[in-house]
Chain A
Amino acid sequence: MKTTVDHLLALGDDALIAAQRLGEWVAAAPELEEDVALANIALDQLGAARLLLTYAGELEGAGRDEDALAYLRDDREFRNCLLVELPNGDFAVTMAKLLFLAAYQLTLYTALSGCADERLAAIASKARKEVAYHLDHARLWTVRLGDGTAESHRRMQAAVDEIWPYTHELFLPDPTAPVDPAGLRAEFLAIVEPVLAEATLERPADDWAPEGGRRGLHTEHLSYLLAEMQVLHRAHPGARW
């Protein structure tokens, strides 16, 4: 199966938008150690995004580099999943988002690291190691919060309930992709369900399943995120930084 520009954009945009949201936490985390950890995870995601977008731009062959793709596309052209663009909410919401994203990325990158496209396989292989750390971090916090105090349990359950519907989109079938995500949901559940159980949290029912991100149909949040992310770059067309 041949790698498509759209597929690379989906992967790269997931990582880029996740990094942007995590970057909003800087100097606002519950403790200093967590400021360091969230910035570190944001950096990893940004690093993966840069590699994926650079590759997407080269494959497209229209002269767009990572910055042209990050800063000069509108929300209708972004291919990220809805989950990553949702606001940070409280720390529990951020950890629920990170848990689900990292579990998804770990299964996907692991599968991609063996794909025929050597460049994509190399990127996935590097990113997989980082994502394993992100998953571990989110897992530990989900358990601490779920099995911590009554208040943290309530918040963590509310966060899981709020974010769970957005996990369905991650596994929409994409038969043109080097690895069809549809086949990865069982593995995702095998990672996530034991974490929820250990955290004494209920696994939400599978009902509402919003989607659209992969087709450029986003929530109302993305446009604001891009307005902020792109404002300076767009104000100085053609400038170097």
Chain B
Amino acid sequence: MHGHHFPEPGDGPASGLLGQVEAAEAALRAAAERGRPGAPDGAAGDTDPQEYFTALIEADQKIEPRDWMPDAYRRTLIRQIAQHAHSEIIGMQPEGNWITRAPSLKRKAILLAKVQDEAGHGLYLYAAAETLGVSRDELVELLLAGRQKYSSIFNYPTLTWADVGAIGWLVDGAAIVNQVPLCRCSYGPYARAMIRICKEESFHQRQGYEILYTLAHGTPAQREMAQDAVNRWWYPSLAMFGPPDRDSTHSEQSMAWKIKRFSNDELRQRFVDMCVPQAEILGLRIPDPELRWNPERQSYDFTPPDYAELMRVISGDGPCNRQRMARRRRAHAEGAWVREAAAAYAAKRAARATAPTEVAA
């Protein structure tokens, strides 16, 4: 029942990133111990709230729910955290698609646990968003109405078992590269949620990598399945970092507020540089004929994803957008009577608890 041994760089495909998560966690504790600039009790006192907010960010302190913050900062965070939460929830579908067909009981158990974690991540993130004064119900309504987005990647279909491995390796890998800097995000509840999430995600990434490794070293049909999955998931994964810097609308302000720490293109480059040696160990080919080491930049040159396709997928015309939304709406609609029953029962219990003692009939 033991996993077989296979060679990996470091302790795992995301081991370096995991170290960064731990460093972010230590920094968070250190900042808390340093105390906040100016008012020792955290109150703004008679200083200008905008100045105090800026001073907190400059000092790498965390903004907490009761602190004053600019409306635009609040709105940006609500949008970003909500979309992140929605992505976890919609992201259960492509992988959930293989739970009933997983090819061994061990793999079935791992996949079930992973999809369960994703629901849990959605819950942490909705809770983090709620600290900004919006309710989870409102956010769910915005998702169902198509007014808030989720990650474009989940609009691609999982056609074979190897896709489950490719999602773990590439999609979770891209998510971690994107999310590790968020562990140092200036908004405390989000930073803390990301620390927890990144630790679990790096575990998922390792499991996906292990699936691909096993397939790539299996029968010829399995190997072909693995390569085909990497071929289909490579560019959509690169597109997860968003539009190129020249077209990114939210970046500059988010970086000034220390919500974002690196640009889309910087993170995308980091991801490519991380994947190439891993693909070599897997024995799988990254489907980019232009991919090559650039000694001057000390990085890999690569073909960027098709941003026109990314825009089509984000605006609703990817392969599975309709299906994913239909399923979420159906689950929500079909579950309405259950949620109403739970609310009615809770109300009855509360009424019974406060009612005067009844005389037994």
Residues in A lying within 8 Å of B, measured CB to CB = 16, 19-20, 23-24, 26-36, 39-40, 42-43, 46-47, 49-50, 53, 66-67, 70-71, 90-91, 143-145, 147-149, 151-152, 155, 228-229, 231-233, 236, 238-241
Contact = CB atoms under 8 A, between A and B. Distances in A.
B327 A149 contact: no
A78 to B, nearest CB: 15
A232 B222 CA distance: 11
B92 A26 contact: yes
Contacts of A240: 214, 218
Nearest to B120: A36
A91 to B, nearest CB: 5
B143 interface: no
A43 B112 contact: yes
A229 B100 contact: yes
A147 B348 contact: yes
Interface in B196-224: 211, 214-215, 218-219, 221-222
29 contacts: A16-B105, A23-B99, A24-B99, A27-B96, A27-B327, A28-B327, A28-B330, A28-B331, A32-B89, A32-B123, A34-B338, A35-B92, A35-B119, A36-B116, A39-B116, A66-B105, A67-B104, A71-B103, A144-B342, A147-B345, A148-B341, A148-B345, A149-B337, A151-B340, A152-B344, A233-B104, A239-B219, A239-B221, A241-B104
Nearest to B349: A147
B340 A152 contact: yes
A46 B105 contact: yes
B190 to A, nearest CB: 19
Contacts of B327: 27-28
Interface string B331-361: 1001111111110110010000000000000
B129 to A, nearest CB: 13
A233 B337 contact: no
B161 interface: yes
Nearest to B107: A241
A47 B105 CA distance: 9
B115 interface: yes
Nearest to B114: A39
B123 A90 contact: no
List the 4 closest A-B pairs by CB distance, nearest first: A30-B335, A148-B341, A152-B341, A39-B116
